[in-house]
Amino acid sequence: MIQRETTTDVPEATDLPSIIRPYGDTTGDAMVQLSFTLPVPAGKRAELAALALARQMGLDPASVVHAKAMGPHFTFFIVYGKVNHLIDYAGIEVPEGREYPLLPAKEVDLAIRTVLKRRLVVVGACIGTDAHTVGIDAILNVKGFAGEKGLEYHREIQVVNMGAQVTVEELLERAKAEDADAVLVSQVVTQKNAHIHNTKQMAAAFHAAYPTAVGPGMGRPLLIAGGPRFDTVTEAELGVDRIFGKGTTPAEVASYLVHALLPTWTPQEDS
């Protein structure tokens, strides 16, 4: 019953180039394009400042291909230039993939029914001022994402979707009231690292509220954070049990719930 994953053919490591460089017009020309905003009024001096910054970043020669005033005191630039950097592509270590099998919906429900012997309760929300519910809805709502049904589709999972702009206090209170097994927090707004601040605050509140907990599923809910910009931090730094990035599907989350909360479950082999 384990869902087999299909992958496209990729070159063997021995077939990959060892040293590579970027290109813009022709292979190996080392041309790159970047954008940024400077806190100065648009004009010739601003463009020269943009070129000076580009040179300090290693672009030489460089040219300003686009400049646009962003109000009276800011200018947005697109700069095109040549870099002198090389990348040791063959030496890049690829992180290990998912450490648990991707389970079909029927097996997720079977695992919960067999081991937990009750419905697994999941509470989800966008916390802080984040009003972007697309991510949390894609995982929780029955309509799902990428052709997969969300967690509401599972008969053995009880989903409580609190929606957007939920405070940490409200989330904690609801999780306790529902006796949640897992808490899913979605963070899309990343300005000034709001996603990191909000998630750390949430994690700290839950750890404080369950001081005698041994771990996830053992005295406190499993804490999961999801969003497109969590790739710069680790679970330990945030205080959560799992981070899911962009492109995560409901099946990945459901399978992780089984993996983390029902460790005694043995995935069923294909018949």
Q: Which residues are catalytic?
A: 143
Per the document, the length of the chain is: 271
Q: Quick one: angle between helices 194-209 and 168-178, nearest 10?
A: 40
Tokens representing residue 21 in the block: 């460089």
Task: State how far the Cα of 78 lies from the Cα of 34, in Å rounded to an integer.
Answer: 6
- Distance of alpha carbon 201 from its chain centroid, rounded? 18
Mention every residue, 6+ apart, whose C-beta is less than 8 A from residue 110. Answer: 268
Contact 161, 172 (CB under 8 A): no
Residue 244, φ and ψ in degrees, nearest 5? -115, 135
Bridge partners (DSSP) listed for residue 145:
148
Burial level of 54, CB count in 10 A (0-12/13-18/19+)?
Answer: buried
Measured between alpha carbons, how far is 27 from 30 in angstroms, rounded to an integer? 8
What tokens were used for 78? 């697109």
